Structure 1
Amino acid sequence: MAAGGAGPAQHQAPNGASVSISNGGGAAAATPPQGSAASTANGAAADGYDSDGYSFAPPTPSTLSMSIPPELAGAIPLIDRFQVEGFLKAMQKQIHSAGKRGFFSKKSVGPQTREKFTLEDMLCFQKDSIPTSLLKISNDLVSRSIKLFHVILKYMGIDSPAIISLEERIEFVEKLYKHTLKRSELRDELFAQISKQTRNNPDRGWSIRAWELMYLCASSMPPSKDIGAYLSEYIHFVAHGATTDADVRVLALNTLNALKRSVKAGPRITIPAWEEIEALLTSRKLTTIVFFLDETFEEITYDMATTVADAVEELAGIIKLSVYSSFSLFECRKVVNGSKSSEIGNEEYIGLDDNKYIGDLLSEFKSAKDRNKGEILHCKLVFKKRLFRESDEAVTDPMFVQLSYVQLQHDYILGNYPVGRDDASQLSALQILVEIGFIDNPESCVEWISLLERFLPRQVAITRAKRDWELDIISRFQLMEHLSKDDARQQFLRILRTLPYGNSVFFSVRKIDDPIGLLPGKIILGINKRGVHFFRPVPKEYLHSAELRDIMQFGSSNTAVFFKMRVAGVLHIFQFETKQGEEICVALQTHINDVMLRRYSKARSGNSVTSQNDVNQAYKPPNIEMFEKRVQELTKTAEDSQKKADQNCHLHCSHVSAATGHL
């Protein structure tokens, strides 16, 4: 190996040891005082090995901290994770067997120079294969780590007679993902190896390839927390280095951003598809479609690192939605069986975690379709609200109102909002007005009959003759002459909002445990600011409600959700089978937090008014100070919980909701 390095300069260590530090890629050695324990720690020199005028003696962490160059400072806390001595011994054997004279990535400053092998040396570019892993890993993974380095060398084009094609590079990346994606130990080893190949690399082309590979790996499979911290510090140092090559700087900055995102999101579930890797290598974006509940859609871009949160942000920008914290992407699955293909309501909506990768979702869609033999499974991404909150009523963003209307309309037409005939007629007339505007003679409109059928829930429609519905809706429509489409939309929202179960989000579940025999086997749960509401799915029928203050405890697992709640003053535990338990708990916790914040804000403002009126009060009584302190503590607790809820935090353990005691 070859790299530039100035001669050693002498520095005095705090313990009196003479520390040799070379600039650039040079190694550093510390000579501890006689009798020092450091003289034998990790020391290969004790084996009496001397080759080509070099004395290899890895320094102890105390000397490393002073000999390591700035870009490797982040590795100091990880000294125990690197096997410097083991790597040295294995390298010595490899050198002897190959008849070579050395492997340092630096130039000798003379035949008399004696340097010691350090972590810095081990993390320098190496043209030859490595004999063992850089990190201390399981013995059964060492041979795999050596193969990883072979792939890295091939990707960089070292000793290759021809230029590596784009297709070959993609194959190499796929191979690295295949062997490390599911193994955190090997992921750490891979990043240590790639970072090694970026340091003191004598060839600009090889260096760029190494950084390119680091970027590709960091985009979708992060290292562990400690290795990630070291890498971030190292990459930041290179990206902002005054002498860093311009192309390397761009790749380092891209890698740093990719690493920050992937550390937050975690590793991909599936190996990135060929086209995803190709897109990142060629600096282009792939596209996919996201639907809305009215079957309109928008096209968004993605690459192998794009998450649901990224997609939501991009989509909000495209449709000019300024307030989108309560919106997310959902996976919609719909089984199509012959004549049932046009039926509404047999689709399932599954909320997606913000950190889920779009590439993983699309891969899962394809796998699900392949598994469902004998029936057609439609899978698509849908953009809608996770839940409706009381604060929504103050939002005036036109797109926010429109999307809220579309979602409530969708749920209403599905039959999720059982209403009487009068309300059904009024709601139908309002929807028709939103659709076509006001016209004097609606029956002359060619779409009139189809609009009547479209905007009247099927279960409600069968309760009276079609002509009776038509006459009732026409009479109501004709009274709306002075309403604009926006007015009609707002009236529709207000009517549904006033229902006890209005502005709910709905979940289909199966009963596991019902101690009082109140519920059927299949149930639809509706959750809103008032509590939990239970419906019979077929025929759609409202059964029971539990107010927030009556829900004493709730929790979820991967397959179930439970509520400990009061029914007629008696506590009972109800349990339901569902894969959406976490979403249910998040929705409940969010509404509880909203109530708490509203109550405590009101209490705090009331206390403030009292203080202002009593201008002559010289001090606050201790009980007032204690009250304010308690309010602040509860507010902070509620706000922290709210942040977790908004981020779809994992609520797999039981939620002992002390908050409900204050409702």
Structure 2
Amino acid sequence: MSAVKIGGDWVENTDPSTGRKYYANTVTKESSWEYPAELKGASDPAPGTGGGDKPAEWVEKLDSTSGNYYYYNRSTKETTWDKPEKFKPANKGGGDWASKIDPDSGQTYYYNKKTKESRWDKPEGYVDPKVEEAKKATEGGAAEVTTEGGGGISKAVRKDEGAAGVAVSSAATAAAVDPESNEVENDVDAATNEEGGGDGAKEDKNDPCGVLKSVEEITAGIGDVTFEKFVEEYFKLDRKGMFNSKTSVEKISSWKNDLIKTSLLQLPPDLSSEALQTFRNVTGYMGDRGSSKEPLGHVTKILSSLMLAPEQLRDEVFCQICKQVNNNPDPVSSVRGWQLMVIMLSCFPPSSRLQIPLTQFCARKLDDSGDFIPKYAEFALKRIPRIFDLGPRREIPTQVELEALKRCAKVTVRVNFLDKKYIMLQTDSWMTAAEFNVLVAKKLGIDDTSPYALFEVSSDDEERVLEPEERLMDLVSYWQRLAVEERKGKGKGAKIQEFQFVYKVRLFFDIPDDDHSGIEMMYLQASTDVVDARYPCTEQDSLTLAALQVQEMYGDHPGPGKEFTELDGVDPKTQKPKLMKFLASKYFADGSDRSAELIQQILKLYAKLSGYSTNEARLSYLDYVKSWKIYGSAYFFAEPQNSSLRFPSAIVLAINSKGILIVDPDTKEFLAEYTYKDVVTWGHSSNSFVVVTGGVQHQSKVYFKTDQGKEINSIVKAYVERVIGPREGNN
């Protein structure tokens, strides 16, 4: 790739992936698709600007505090929330939006050609040209209520008006990503916008959980370690050649215009050959050599070979990237190299011997001239200790995640609730479930996060609580891989298993009455469990609770002689009786239509509840169900291993805040009950759970065979510590 001088410090170059010309300043390292204005004269506007207010100088940036976009003029330094003419749509009705197909999932997403925003949910006002005549049928989608936290689910969610099932692709929404764009200047602008939230902004706004170390903290541990010392000790300085001469540290650690003949590090022969192929993909992505492959295709190739590779091969790719960005004369290639560094740091850490040298390499690039490289270097620098603590991930990132990583941007994920509402929150490749739980709770105005957790829920209604250290985007990548594999096996149009994140109650602790957000979460969980028949419940109990639900949802009864028809008829979306939102399906299972009778009984009870506020109705509902011994139970199938206790061969362990119940799965009879005051100790293995009960003089040990021992152990421990105080169980 040869550059042509065009005047001053500027050179003209050609982007190999698009064939477009761009311009780079060899001194400031600035790059631009526009011809440099200083070479054309101040009075002669650059092509495409049109003079005037210079719309080409406006860039759109994301304010990480509010989540809203603002606009910044790089010439005048003006900042405004109002869209300049450049960003205003030419016509209404979603005219700047286009629909595209995600090649990984086969799902449709929407991309704004002007703002570079992409999303899975259909933009407001967008109409597909092919289905113009169906406009009325497709209107009325999700509507955002508010973006502020502190108001519970009701005030901080979007309402899902569609079906209950949520496709895997809807679990992850892209940041400002154009999958067809090769405009590197725009890419880097997006990187700096997302990372800092605007010029001069600090990254702590982009670190809501406070898990990233500061630059000062990180660099304090470098000491006298340098990347060059690492090169001198571990690189193969005796390179292959006609005279097999020894190369210099500076030469071997600097950008190379052609392929290497052997690995940089001392590697076994089989790994050395893989290292050469890795270098081909590194240079292919950076544009240092011509390639017919899509840029992210090179990234996928690298990750496919390195995700399960020995750590010395992973170190090799970090060293190759350092080499190719060091003294690189092409600023565009250099930016792409740093993009590759960020992507690698999202997937696996360097070895302990390379960690500090790599840290020093990134730290010294903070003083590079230009805007782009220092910001990429700082982003990478802060992720080195982070990925070192987390360890390698399991799955290759999805294309959506890779596009976000290229820009150091966040990815938006959808978090669902039990009432079909949801919120959209930003995450990144390093965020764990425990950290994300904090963000969800903050959004909802919940102070005590301990009762709630994020669950993985499948379209088959199988659920699993996420482990605290589980990485969200790694799980999304796993869902994506399963979807692709299942679709290949079943065919494009076949129904496949889908997954979603659901935030709900895991531990049924007592919540203060004035904690309205917490009460709302507990009420939503309780009412859902009652309607789903998770608890044995008499008909009278069901009717009383249904009346409280109606009061909570609709407020006071309209009064004597006035009709209330919200319980009548069929829900047009679910095609089920509206009454099924309040009563278990068992009341509709025998084929007899008791709807009119049940509605009348509910309305009689409902009329007596006038004056109850929303929160009072929720509290009354919770008080009612808390009186049940089984309330708040998590159920686990198990096989008792103590023959002397004469339990059935299979039982259900019901774990709640009161204790451990042993339930006959057929008769629903309580066979045994152990309160937490009776529990001496407990423990689990990979296929069992054991509990010891009794006192000082006499103790009884009960074994259960189960593959859910770890989760049972975790729940029991949490309840014991809440009810009794910190105690140690056996692991």
The TM-score by the shorter chain falls in which range? 0.5 to 0.7
Partner in structure 2 of residue 88 of structure 1 = 237
Mapped to 2, the partners of 1:401 and 1:219 lie a distance apart of 38
Mapped to 1, the partners of 2:512 and 2:362 lie a distance apart of 45
User: Is 1:588 the counterpart of 2:588 in the alignment?
Assistant: no
Shift of 1:321: 4.3
What amino acid is the match of 1:231?
L
Shift of 1:546: 1.8
> Where do residues 241-252 of structure 1 align in structure 2 (5 Å cutoff)?
241=367, 243=368, 245-252=370-377
Partner in structure 1 of residue 344 of structure 2 = 217
**Backbone CA RMSD of aligned residues:** 4.1
Mapped to 2, the partners of 1:512 and 1:375 lie a distance apart of 38
User: Is 1:140 the counterpart of 2:140 in the alignment?
Assistant: no
Q: Does the 8 Å CA contact 2:342/2:406 hold for their aligned counterparts?
A: no
User: Is 1:480 the counterpart of 2:609 in the alignment?
Assistant: yes
What amino acid is the match of 1:176?
I
Partner in structure 2 of residue 362 of structure 1 = 476
What amino acid is the match of 2:351?
S
Partner in structure 2 of residue 400 of structure 1 = 518
Aligned residue for 1:418, secondary structure, equals: coil
Q: Evaluate the alpha carbon distance shift between residue 502 and residue 225 of structure 1 in structure 2; reply closer, same or farther with a 3 A threshold.
A: farther
Q: Evaluate the alpha carbon distance shift between residue 233 and residue 499 of structure 1 in structure 2; reply closer, same or farther with a 3 A threshold.
A: farther
Partner in structure 2 of residue 334 of structure 1 = 459
Mapped to 2, the partners of 1:74 and 1:184 lie a distance apart of 28
Q: Evaluate the alpha carbon distance shift between residue 527 and residue 201 of structure 1 in structure 2; reply closer, same or farther with a 3 A threshold.
A: same
User: Is 1:273 the counterpart of 2:398 in the alignment?
Assistant: yes
User: Is 1:238 the counterpart of 2:383 in the alignment?
Assistant: no
Aligned residue for 1:394, secondary structure, equals: coil
Q: After superposition, what is the alpha-carbon deviation per residue over 1:58-81, rounded to whole angstroms, capped at 9, x for unaligned?
A: xxxxxxxxxxx99975757998x9
Q: Does the 8 Å CA contact 1:290/1:380 hold for their aligned counterparts?
A: yes
Partner in structure 2 of residue 104 of structure 1 = 248
2:283 to 140, 144, 153: 153
2:544 to 426, 445, 454: 426
Mapped to 2, the partners of 1:596 and 1:307 lie a distance apart of 29
Q: After superposition, what is the alpha-carbon deviation per residue over 1:38-93, rounded to whole angstroms, capped at 9, x for unaligned?
A: xxxxxxxxxxxxxxxxxxxxxxxxxxxxxxx99975757998x978477123x1x3
| TM-score, scaled relative to structure 2 | 0.58
Q: Does the 8 Å CA contact 1:515/1:572 hold for their aligned counterparts?
A: no
Shift of 1:479: 2.6
> Where do residues 133-532 of structure 1 align in structure 2 (5 Å cutoff)?
133-158=263-288, 160=289, 168-185=294-311, 186-201=313-328, 203-239=330-366, 241=367, 243=368, 245-282=370-407, 286-302=411-427, 304-305=429-430, 307-309=432-434, 311-335=436-460, 347-368=461-482, 370-371=485-486, 377-390=497-510, 393-394=511-512, 396-420=514-538, 422-439=540-557, 440-441=559-560, 444-448=563-567, 450=577, 452-458=579-585, 473-504=602-633, 506-511=634-639, 513-516=641-644, 519-520=647-648, 523-532=651-660
Shift of 1:402: 1.4
Q: Evaluate the alpha carbon distance shift between residue 474 and residue 445 of structure 1 in structure 2; reply closer, same or farther with a 3 A threshold.
A: closer
Q: Evaluate the alpha carbon distance shift between residue 417 and residue 360 of structure 1 in structure 2; reply closer, same or farther with a 3 A threshold.
A: same
> Where do residues 632-643 of structure 1 align in structure 2 (5 Å cutoff)?
none
Q: Evaluate the alpha carbon distance shift between residue 237 and residue 515 of structure 1 in structure 2; reply closer, same or farther with a 3 A threshold.
A: farther
Mapped to 1, the partners of 2:523 and 2:357 lie a distance apart of 49
Shift of 1:552: 3.8
Aligned residue for 2:500, secondary structure, equals: strand
Mapped to 1, the partners of 2:670 and 2:562 lie a distance apart of 34
Shift of 1:218: 0.8
Mapped to 2, the partners of 1:85 and 1:223 lie a distance apart of 14
> Where do residues 524-563 of structure 1 align in structure 2 (5 Å cutoff)?
524-537=652-665, 540-558=668-686, 560-563=687-690
In the alignment of these two chains, the number of paired residues is 493
Q: Does the 8 Å CA contact 2:227/2:360 hold for their aligned counterparts?
A: no
Q: After superposition, what is the alpha-carbon deviation per residue over 1:352-396, rounded to whole angstroms, capped at 9, x for unaligned?
A: 124434343334334545549697534322111232234xx2374
Higher mean alpha-carbon deviation, 567-576 vs 262-271, is at 567-576
Mapped to 2, the partners of 1:551 and 1:438 lie a distance apart of 46
What amino acid is the match of 1:187?
R
Shift of 1:180: 0.7
Higher mean alpha-carbon deviation, 263-272 vs 320-329, is at 320-329
Aligned residue for 1:509, secondary structure, equals: strand
Q: Does the 8 Å CA contact 1:415/1:540 hold for their aligned counterparts?
A: no
> Where do residues 52-63 of structure 1 align in structure 2 (5 Å cutoff)?
none
Q: Does the 8 Å CA contact 2:693/2:699 hold for their aligned counterparts?
A: yes
Aligned residue for 2:713, secondary structure, equals: helix
Q: Does the 8 Å CA contact 1:220/1:267 hold for their aligned counterparts?
A: yes
Aligned residue for 2:643, secondary structure, equals: coil
Q: Which runs of 5+ in 1 are unaligned?
A: 1-68, 107-120, 336-346, 598-634, 642-654, 658-663
Aligned residue for 2:703, secondary structure, equals: strand
Partner in structure 1 of residue 730 of structure 2 = 656
Q: Name which one, 1 or 2, has greater alpha-carbon Rg.
A: 1
What amino acid is the match of 1:447?
E
Q: Evaluate the alpha carbon distance shift between residue 234 and residue 427 of structure 1 in structure 2; reply closer, same or farther with a 3 A threshold.
A: same
Q: Evaluate the alpha carbon distance shift between residue 563 and residue 171 of structure 1 in structure 2; reply closer, same or farther with a 3 A threshold.
A: same
Q: Evaluate the alpha carbon distance shift between residue 308 and residue 72 of structure 1 in structure 2; reply closer, same or farther with a 3 A threshold.
A: closer
Mapped to 1, the partners of 2:535 and 2:341 lie a distance apart of 53
Q: Does the 8 Å CA contact 1:552/1:656 hold for their aligned counterparts?
A: no
Q: Does the 8 Å CA contact 1:125/1:201 hold for their aligned counterparts?
A: yes
Q: Does the 8 Å CA contact 2:228/2:249 hold for their aligned counterparts?
A: no
Aligned residue for 1:270, secondary structure, equals: coil
Mapped to 2, the partners of 1:514 and 1:486 lie a distance apart of 46
Q: Evaluate the alpha carbon distance shift between residue 514 and residue 283 of structure 1 in structure 2; reply closer, same or farther with a 3 A threshold.
A: same
Q: Does the 8 Å CA contact 2:227/2:358 hold for their aligned counterparts?
A: no
Mapped to 1, the partners of 2:269 and 2:364 lie a distance apart of 33
Q: Does the 8 Å CA contact 1:74/1:229 hold for their aligned counterparts?
A: no
Higher mean alpha-carbon deviation, 359-368 vs 408-417, is at 359-368
Shift of 1:474: 4.2
Shift of 1:214: 0.8
Aligned residue for 1:481, secondary structure, equals: coil
Shift of 1:254: 1.6
Identity of aligned residues (%): 25
Q: Evaluate the alpha carbon distance shift between residue 381 and residue 523 of structure 1 in structure 2; reply closer, same or farther with a 3 A threshold.
A: farther
Q: After superposition, what is the alpha-carbon deviation per residue over 1:564-604, rounded to whole angstroms, capped at 9, x for unaligned?
A: 333896523322323x433322222122223454xxxxxxx
Q: Evaluate the alpha carbon distance shift between residue 561 and residue 428 of structure 1 in structure 2; reply closer, same or farther with a 3 A threshold.
A: farther
Mapped to 2, the partners of 1:210 and 1:556 lie a distance apart of 47
Shift of 1:420: 4.6
Q: Does the 8 Å CA contact 2:396/2:477 hold for their aligned counterparts?
A: no
Mapped to 2, the partners of 1:586 and 1:489 lie a distance apart of 28
Q: Evaluate the alpha carbon distance shift between residue 277 and residue 131 of structure 1 in structure 2; reply closer, same or farther with a 3 A threshold.
A: same
Shift of 1:656: 1.6
Aligned residue for 1:365, secondary structure, equals: helix
Aligned residue for 1:298, secondary structure, equals: strand
Mapped to 1, the partners of 2:615 and 2:388 lie a distance apart of 44
Shift of 1:473: 4.1
Aligned residue for 1:87, secondary structure, equals: coil
